[in-house]
Structure formats: C-alpha cells, structure tokens
Amino acid sequence: LHSCVCTMLTDRDDFTRELASNALALIYDRGDVLSKEDMMVSLKALFGGGNDKPADATGLAAEREAAGQQRAAEVRAVNPTFKSILSLALDMRNPALFYPLVQLATQVPASSSSSGSGDCTANGISGRYGSAYGLAVNVERACAAVQPYIRPIIPKLFRCTFDPNPQTQAAMKGIWHSLLKFKSARPAQPDSQAGDKDVSGSSDSDEGIMDIFWDLIVEECLTSMGRFEWQTRESGCNALASALLGASSERIMPYLERIWQMSFRALDDIKATVRESGLKACQSLAVSTVAWCTPRVPANSKHDQQAQSIMAIVMPYLVDRGIASDAEDVQKFSLGLTLKLCRASGGYLSPFVPAIVERLLETLSNMEPQAANYLTFHTGEHNMSAEQLESLRLGAVKSSPIMQGIELALDNVTSEGMSDMVPRLQNIIRHGVGLATRAGCARAIAVLCVKHAAIVEPHAAPL
C-alpha cells in the first residue's frame, strides 16, 4: 500500500497529490516498527537516487510489481523534487520527517488561491481541496511535527526555495508558506525563544523570518555555494543574493570577506547557470557596498567608521585577488567595482591609493586590445605609420575608464600615501611591460605634480 501511494505523489491532479501525501503520513503513523523501517527503505529506493528496487513494505505479490512499473518510472522522472525533500529530512537526522514535509509541499499558499473560491481555511495552510475533505487537521499536524526542527530547517528550506528545478522550487515554497502561516496562526507564547518568535502576514512573515534566522541563512548559503552538486551551488547563490537585499552593513560585516570569496568562486564556476547566479550575488553586494562607502553630507562619524571598516575588507580583496585573478569574469567585475568605488568613496579611499594606482597601471596593458599589438607589426598593411598608431594608443590610454579611475584615486592621496606610492611607481617605470602601462605611469606622475605639488616635492629626486 505504501509503495502504491508513493507513485501517486506525481499524479497530474492536484487533489490526488494532496490526498496521497496525507495518506502516506497516515500509513506511516499506523505502521509498526518493522513496517516503518521497510517504508523508509522504500522511500530511499524511490527518491534517494539508488538503483535498488523499492522494498515491498506490505508483502505485495510479485505480479503486482510488474503492474506498477510504469507509475514507478514516472516517480523516478521527478525524483529530484522528492529527493530534495528526503535530503532535507535526512539533514534533520529524522527520515520520518519526510512525511509531514511532503504533506506541506502539496499545499497551495493562500496568496496563490483565487479570491472568493473558499478553498482555504481561515489560517491559510490547508491545500486547495483540503478543507472540503477535512484534511486541514492533518496539515496542521504536519506543521506541528516540523516545529521542533524549525531552527535548523528554516535556513535549508530558504535556500531550497531558489532551487533551479521549478517543481522542487514550488514544493519548497509550499512548505515555506505553510510553516509561516502556521506560525502566524499560533497564539503568541510569553516564553517563546528566538526560533519560535511570532511573525505575521505574508511579506511581513518573510521579513520576520529573515530577521530572526539571518545569520543561519547566510551560513547555509555560503556552505551551499561550495558543494559538489551544481544545483546546490546555484540555489545557494540565488538565495544569498536575495538575503543580501536590504541587509544592514552591521549584519554583513562579519561575513563580508567570505561572501566575496564564495561569490567570486561562483563567478568562475564550470557551470554557466551557476556563474550567472554568482554574478547576481556579486551585483547585489556591489550595490550595497557602493552605498555604504559613499560619504554623507553632513558628515556622520558612525557612518565614516563603518565605511572605513568595509573599505578595509573590500578594497584589498578587490585589488589583490579580484583584479589580479586569472578568471576573466572575476577580473572584469572587480575592475568595474573598483572604478565605481574610486568615483564614490572620496576620502575613504586614501589608505588604499598606492595599491589601487599600482594595480590599475598594470591593468592598462592587460586590458589593451590584442589588435593593438598586431597592428604594431603590420602598420604598413593598413596604410598607417608607427607614429600614428602610437598616438592612437596613447589617446586611448588617456581617455580610458581605468586612467580616469587612477586620476580619481590620486585626488585622495596623502603625504603618507605618497611615501608608499613612490617605490611602486619607480618599479613600474623600470620594469613595466607595455606601452599603455608606461604611458599611464607618466600621466599619473604629471597629474600628481599638477594637483599635489606640495606632497610630491620631497620625492622629486627619486621620481
């Protein structure tokens, strides 16, 4: 009976799936110890990705197994959804949690039901047909069964709601909304802990849950971004991008370097969809970083301190690991963000000007089109003299965004920074490779002499 009902979980009819999920829970509850063990073996065979045939939990005859092969094939076709739910239960170290989770996965959130249809209960956690057939009590019982695991399951569940598989994503959102509605329907407990804090409303509930479990959710996302399965890495990136939206700098600060590390790792992933999701996470954090590191008028000492702390983490990482990375996507993104910070950060940039200028000057030649080097040896074939080509290359360096970023960074140089920058400029002058780098270095020195003559004068001899 258990094996037959499992095959009904993938039926096209909503009511059949909802009824099957409730029936599975009832069958499991009424089984003895040995039957429950056999049922779990059957579940792992069906949804656990193994090649073994499902165990016959109730002694069905062999001829009935042949009749169910077609339905079993349909179950295996959507194994990722139920495999994810079973994996979620196994992560809680309670495989029996699969049954209440499947019950909740088949529920339709109240917000997705048509208005005035009367197919949901007052608290919004029954399925599309559950209230009409008296199944709402079973759903509430399933929610209550998950409550002891609410703290460890919420971070994993949030990440799974961004699964790349649409069926898995829909199932996890069904569990998510059912648990939130159940929590909002419960009376507030005076001695409730953080994991049981009362939250209300659909969007308000999501914000409340994010507020309570934000640290655990970020930890789960960062861990998932380093997993072997590409689906897990992709869902971790998408979940992280969502979690970062609207988060305060105080909350992100402890995780800032790890977030950049894992986001850049995803940006260089072998899987294209993971790279796209990693780019979303990077862009989400970049927007917040630029906003945090923009000076305010009038000046705010608390904001200044936070901005300097953020710059102390972000800028060395971008300069030393991002722009210098061998991965083209990481290099381009880091360069773009560095230039944005050069435009927006003002005085916050001062401690990092020498390192930024040195790295950007080296990047000038690396980012120069390869066609320029080709034309250097084939000017005659294109009716162009060597002087004309060199003039064009120098003009391109002068007007490039990288050179503009260098000049913006030099606007914030200090006397202490000048002492650190002079040896770096000397090294580039002596060992720099490429016309663009040498030309950029000459222009940087000229800008310093014009705009900061007082702090350049003590270093005039070595320059």
Per-residue model confidence as pLDDT tens digits over 302-314:
888 888 999 999 9
Q: How far is CA 281 from the centre of its chain?
A: 5
The yes-or-no verdict on residue 203 having pLDDT over 50 is no
pLDDT value of residue 286:
92
* The amino acid at 439: A
pLDDT value of residue 31:
66
pLDDT value of residue 23:
73
CA atoms within 13 A on the CB side of 215: 8
pLDDT band at residue 264 using 50, 70 and 90 as cut-offs: very high
Lowest mean pLDDT among 30-34, 224-228, 411-415: 30-34
Other CB atoms within a 10 A radius of the CB of residue 112 amount to 12
Question: For residue 67, what are its two tokens?
Answer: 């009749």
Q: In whole numbers, what is the pLDDT of the chain averaged over residues?
A: 76
pLDDT value of residue 377:
54
pLDDT value of residue 66:
47
pLDDT value of residue 245:
85
**In the predicted model, what is the mean pLDDT of residues 210-215?**
85
Q: Which of 57, 51, 53 is nearest to 38 (CA)?
A: 57
pLDDT band at residue 55 using 50, 70 and 90 as cut-offs: very low
Whether pTM exceeds 0.85:
no
Radius of gyration of the chain (CA): 30
Question: Which of helix, strand or coil describes residue 228?
Answer: coil
Q: How far is CA 326 from the centre of its chain?
A: 22
Question: For residue 92, what are its two tokens?
Answer: 């809680």
**In the predicted model, what is the mean pLDDT of residues 266-285?**
92
**In the predicted model, what is the mean pLDDT of residues 258-285?**
92
pLDDT digits (tens, 9 = 90+) for 59-115: 444 444 444 444 444 444 446 777 888 888 888 888 878 878 887 877 655 444 433
Q: Which phi-psi region, left, alpha or beta, contains residue 287 (left: φ > 0; alpha: ψ -120 to 50)? A: alpha
The yes-or-no verdict on residue 50 having pLDDT over 60 is no
pLDDT digits (tens, 9 = 90+) for 308-338: 999 999 999 999 888 988 888 999 999 999 9
- The DSSP symbol for 225 reads T
Which residues fall within 8 angstroms of residue 187, CB to CB, at 6 or more apart?
none
The yes-or-no verdict on residue 12 having pLDDT over 70 is no
pLDDT value of residue 392:
72
pLDDT band at residue 162 using 50, 70 and 90 as cut-offs: very high
pLDDT value of residue 313:
92
pLDDT value of residue 91:
84
Distance CA 231, CA 251 (A): 27
The yes-or-no verdict on residue 192 having pLDDT over 50 is no
pLDDT band at residue 117 using 50, 70 and 90 as cut-offs: very low
Distance CA 163, CA 157 (A): 10
- The DSSP symbol for 318 reads I
pLDDT value of residue 51:
39
- 382 vs 172, higher pLDDT: 172
Q: Which of 199, 274, 291 is nearest to 233 (CA)?
A: 274
The yes-or-no verdict on residue 122 having pLDDT over 50 is no
- 8 vs 53, higher pLDDT: 8
Question: Which of helix, strand or coil describes residue 272?
Answer: helix
Q: Where are the alpha helices (DSSP H) in 318-378?
A: 328-344, 353-366, 370-376
**In the predicted model, what is the mean pLDDT of residues 187-201?**
43
**In the predicted model, what is the mean pLDDT of residues 153-176?**
89
**In the predicted model, what is the mean pLDDT of residues 345-366?**
89
Q: Which of 54, 50, 79, 47 is nearest to 68 (CA)?
A: 54
pLDDT value of residue 199:
42
The yes-or-no verdict on residue 208 having pLDDT over 80 is no
pLDDT band at residue 389 using 50, 70 and 90 as cut-offs: low
Question: For residue 280, what are its two tokens?
Answer: 């979303």
- 262 vs 38, higher pLDDT: 262
pLDDT value of residue 370:
63
The yes-or-no verdict on residue 353 having pLDDT over 80 is yes
The yes-or-no verdict on residue 127 having pLDDT over 70 is no
* The amino acid at 382: H
Q: Which of 59, 66, 61, 75 is nearest to 5 (CA)?
A: 75
- 324 vs 137, higher pLDDT: 324
pLDDT digits (tens, 9 = 90+) for 393-446: 777 778 788 989 999 999 888 888 888 888 998 888 888 777 788 888 888 899
Residue % of the chain over a pLDDT of 90: 22
Q: What's the residue count for the chain?
A: 463
